[in-house]
Structure 1
Amino acid sequence: MSTTSSEVLAFPNIRAIVRDNGTAEVVVAGNSRIVPAGESLQDLRNNALALVVGEAQTLNRPVRAQIEDPEGHGELIVHPDNRIESVSYEVRPARRRAEASEPAPETVAPAVIETVPAPAPEPVAVPAEPAVAAVAAVDRRPWPPNPVTLDTTPAPAVATEEAPPTRRSLKETSFLVGAPVLEPATQGWRGALTRLGFRMDPSAEELSAREDIRTVSQHWPGPRTIAVVNRKGGANKTPTVVMLSAILARYSGAATVAWDNNESQGTLGWRTEKGAHDRSVLDLIDSSTELLSPSTNAAEIAKFVHHQTADKFDVLRSDENEEGDHEVTAEEVDIAHRVLTRYYRLVIMDSGNTARAANWRRMIDHTNQLVVPVTAIEDRAEAARLTLQTLESRGGHDAELARNAVVIVSESTDAKRAMSGDALKRAKDEAQRIADGFEPFVRAVVRIPYDPALVNGPIRYEALQPATQRAWLAAAAAVAKGF
């Protein structure tokens, strides 16, 4: 079926621009998209047209595209099924073969291309000075079209019966424009001017923060498990679990639980808000049959977890019985994980310091994303390195987790307490040295500035300084990219 330019909607405005320096872009409703490079000018044209075809497929209808390249400019009609029709194409004067002394050829009105297969035309004589003429029928990449030269001998007029107009289907059009709208600035002096009525575009820093928020706000199919590990105590494992849980729960809205998978007694319960009961992971395991029953209401899980009212995630505590001697087994990790992934989309696991423990190793079996926190102190960094080395040496799933790990480096608290300018600089330099050391071996490394709100007592996201909140947002985005 042929399409005339008047039948194709003029929006969104699409321009395909190919430059003689080997670059190209496709601009859709004012938004520029860089075209992948090619080995030739025609490769660039093909790559640009592929982007326009994608836009037609998104809109599920033909679109018009203005084209421009070093040889000329014109207009195409691009269909979702990859058919492309040339409406017009005008060669740049500098590339015409006509002599300057000769009169310019008459401009021939561009013809609409009929894409219904037709027999090949008989060859015709090529005059000395070809005129810009109607373009032959094509079904792929007619950019630029090869002009068909015409015999200048007048042909007798042939009466043709005009086809009756047909009504188009509403399925072939849309009034929606897919281009996203850039919201005005909300932060800094740009945000202040926007609130005063002067619309300002966001800064690069604000755009970066928006992208991180978009990353952590996404939903993914099925539950995900994050393991936070380091064989050395005092490496910031528990604060890391709390902060990742708070940010991912706040922004994604996904049901999130922080699980203290210490083999005996951990500290996650000490750094978070306590609920109206004393139940722990052992109570959840004992009630697993009931909790896994199809008839059990989703709200029943609240009997075993401790909700964080401000940060919107739950905590499953480890056993806090001072007289108890039970250590969680690998089979019990399986049971608890099966229960939690029924009620939560995101499980973030704190861990003990023994990589040989059965519950530690089984945690790794269930892990989708590994996070290795480290404070900027040599022995903590060395313990983190040995943790990753142990996993890598085991091969398979464990080695893949190590290679895809996110390392989070926090500045030393001891140097901050000194409040000395030299001590602060040394702390920052040491954090950077450790971060640089891990970078070649893992997927991402994120640095976190010192913040007194993370040192003692319950941890709350809102209690952090803005720079610390921003750094943890970047860390959570790096983690979420691994989902």
Structure 2
Amino acid sequence: MGTTPTEVLAFPNIKAIVRDNGTAEVVVAGNSRVVPDGDTLQDLRNNALALVVGEAKTLQRPVRVQIEDPEGHGELIVHPDNKIESVSYEPRPARRRTQAPATTPETAAPAVIETVPVTSPEPIPAPAQPATVEQTAAAVDRQPWPPTPVDPEVNADVPAASEVTSSNGQRITDAEVPQAAVAASEEPLTRRSLKETSFLVSAPVLEPATQGWRGSLTRLGFRMDPSAEELSEREDIRTVSQHWPGPRKIAVVNRKGGANKTPTVVNLCAVFARYGGGPVLAWDNNESQGTLGWRTEQGPHNASVLDLVDSSTRLLSPEANSADLAHFVHHQTADKFDVLRSDENEEGDHEVTAEEVDIVHRVATKYYRMIVMDSGNTARSANWRRMIHHTDQLVVPVTAMEDRAEAARLTLQTLESRGGHDAELARNAVVIVSESTDARRGMTGDALKRAKAEAQRIADGFAPLVRAVVRIPYDPALVNGPIRYEALQPATQRAWLAAAAAVAKGF
């Protein structure tokens, strides 16, 4: 089955240009690469395609390429496995001539060839001794860029070649008939509309690699394209850096305590705030006393959600400004988001009501683009249900332990059974599976393998039930004390970036 153009990213912008003077170039995101010489027009096409296949192999995915040669222009889809698919091809209109020229093998339209032996160069770690296209141009079959077949209805009135003669009585050959018919029926070219013309480059220039050995070579002066892993990371960063129209609200829920809800809230907020999706608020929406304040940095006061509720009239007035919130929220100086703590009075005699959730929601959405809500363990409580009413995206954290996983499943089941908005949140949920916080303590060898296998088993179990599942590796920086994003291991940071991107794709 072929690939549709909409299934293939248009980034980077790639063009393959073959000129009638015997030269050709491939332009990738604005960077030109000279195509090796060829004896014929088809040789130049093949050599250009070989460079594009090499680009697809580097990106490890199909790419779209705009093609242009003396005979026409169109679009191809080029796969890393050397498969070439023709999306479109439009022959160039023939210019008016007083007499049809004699047809030679060089001027005749090329036949549609099933396969052409060409191969693409493998990605190379350094510019020294690169393999040439000519050295590898005989190993792979691929479809060339053919002109589109002639529509039979267009030439329905054109007689057979054997019946056509020129004005001077000479017989026109089979190869000359289509060209003569086109020349006779072609209309003069008209001036192009200024509204349909632009000199701006639509695609951004692909920045060189900054990571791994490719990044090292770039810093030494050898410009290298980024790896597939670096491109994936860049795409996740772009996804979480969006500014959506209107605030977005995320609820982090699991009916079981110890399921990693609070670390999930902290790390999602850190990713969104660090990459420009802010201002971001972490809101502890526990019924009484939650733990979000224990795992984050405290500001120069002891204010909680109840203090904000008491001052909501002033905060919602036209005279209020964002700086007034500093009296109620606790700013995270390194991770750049704010925390609204739950009530921490010693008596613990106040349970947040649905009406108070509405008040906090009005204040929060006035001042923040992104609101990530921590929650308690009671799906029946008024504040929990009201939180769900305001939620745009549901996140269900779970550690690699069967009771936490079962509680997560029951949480989703409860929401699905309620129907409507709640059921839609459950179907579109993102499940984040973290390796148990004590999975690595005293574990070696087979025990560690079993712990990782359990995390994978739980992730696989949730995959058909929700929109996305992301795994987070064990990290000692998440076990105790305040959580700092910079204290996490690089693999853990990358996993949380992927988790935040999965969440953002649901907005």
Alignment TM-score > 0.5, same fold: yes
Is residue 490 of structure 2 the alignment partner of residue 466 of structure 1?
Answer: yes
- Letter paired with 2:369: R
Q: Aligned residues: percent identity?
A: 75
Aligned to 1:28: 66
**Runs of 5+ in structure 2 lacking a partner?**
1-12, 19-44, 50-61, 69-73, 79-84, 95-106, 114-153, 163-172
Contact 1:191 1:200 in 2 (8 A): yes
Aligned counterpart, 2:401: 377
User: 1:412: Cα distance to partner?
Assistant: 1.4
Alignment partner of 1:75 is 2:92 = yes
The match for 1:426 is: 450
- Equivalent position to 1:452, from 472, 476, 480: 476
- Which residue number in structure 1 is paired with residue 339 of structure 2? 315
Q: Give the whole-Å Cα distance in 1 for the aligned partners of 2:330 and 2:416.
A: 35
Cα distance in 2 between the residues matched to 1:211 and 1:12: 18
The correspondence of residues 138-217 of structure 1 with structure 2, limited to 5 A, is: 147-148=181-182, 173-217=197-241
2:110 match: 92
- Shift in Å, 1:75: 2.5
Q: Deviations over 1:117-164 (max 9, x none)?
A: xxx99967654145646879xxxxxxxxxx45969xxxxxxxxxxx9x
Aligned residues of 2:305 and 2:343 also touching (Cα < 8 A): yes
Match of 2:459 in 1: 435
Do the aligned partners of residues 352 and 196 (structure 1) sit closer, same or farther apart at CA in structure 2, a change above 3 Å counting? same
One-letter code aligned to 1:263: E
C-alpha distance in 2 between matches for 1:392 and 1:465: 36
C-alpha displacement of 1:218: 1.3
**Count of residue pairs brought into register by the alignment:** 380
Shift of residue 244, structure 1, vs aligned partner: 0.1
CA deviation after TM superposition for structure 1 residue 324, in Å: 3.9
Quick one: distance in 2 between partners of 1:209 and 1:287? Answer: 42
Query: In 2, Cα distance between the equivalents of 1:376 and 1:124?
Result: 73
How far the C-alpha of 1:320 sits from its partner, in A, is 0.6
1:90 CA displacement: 5.3
Among residues 247, 255, 260, which one is paired with 1:236 in the alignment? Answer: 260
Q: Specify the SS of the correspondent of 1:241.
A: helix
* Cα deviation, residue 250, structure 1: 0.8
Provide the C-alpha distance between the structure 2 equivalents of 1:29 and 1:127, rounded to a whole number of angstroms: 31
Pairs within 5 Å for 1:386-425: 386-425=410-449
Residue 113 (structure 1) aligns with? none
**Normalised TM-score (structure 2):** 0.68
- Compute the RMSD of aligned alpha carbons: 3.4
Secondary structure of residue in 2 paired with 1:418? coil
Which whole-Å CA distance do the structure 2 matches of 1:355 and 1:398 have between them? Answer: 12
Amino acid at match of 2:65: V
Which secondary structure state, in structure 1, belongs to the residue aligned with residue 463 of structure 2?
Answer: helix
| 8 Å contact kept, 1:131–1:149 | no
| Residues 122 and 34 of structure 1, relative CA distance in 2, 3 Å threshold | closer
- The structure-2 alpha-carbon separation of the partners of 1:362 and 1:131, relative to structure 1 and needing over 3 Å to count, comes to same
Describe the shift of the 1:179–1:228 C-alpha distance in structure 2 as closer, same or farther (beyond 3 A). same
Contact 2:400 2:436 in 1 (8 A): yes
Asked whether 1:274 is paired with 2:291, we answer: no
CA distance in 2 between partners of 1:193 and 1:286 (Å) = 59
Which residue of structure 2 aligns with residue 301 of structure 1? Answer: 325
Quickly say closer, same or farther: Cα 1:296–1:92, change in 2 above 3 A. Answer: same
Alignment correspondent of 1:356: 380
How far the C-alpha of 1:93 sits from its partner, in A, is: 5.8
In structure 1, distance between residues paired with 2:213 and 2:412: 43
Q: Is the CA contact 1:133–1:150 (under 8 Å) kept in the aligned structure 2?
A: no
Q: Distance in 2 between matches of 1:400 and 1:213?
A: 26
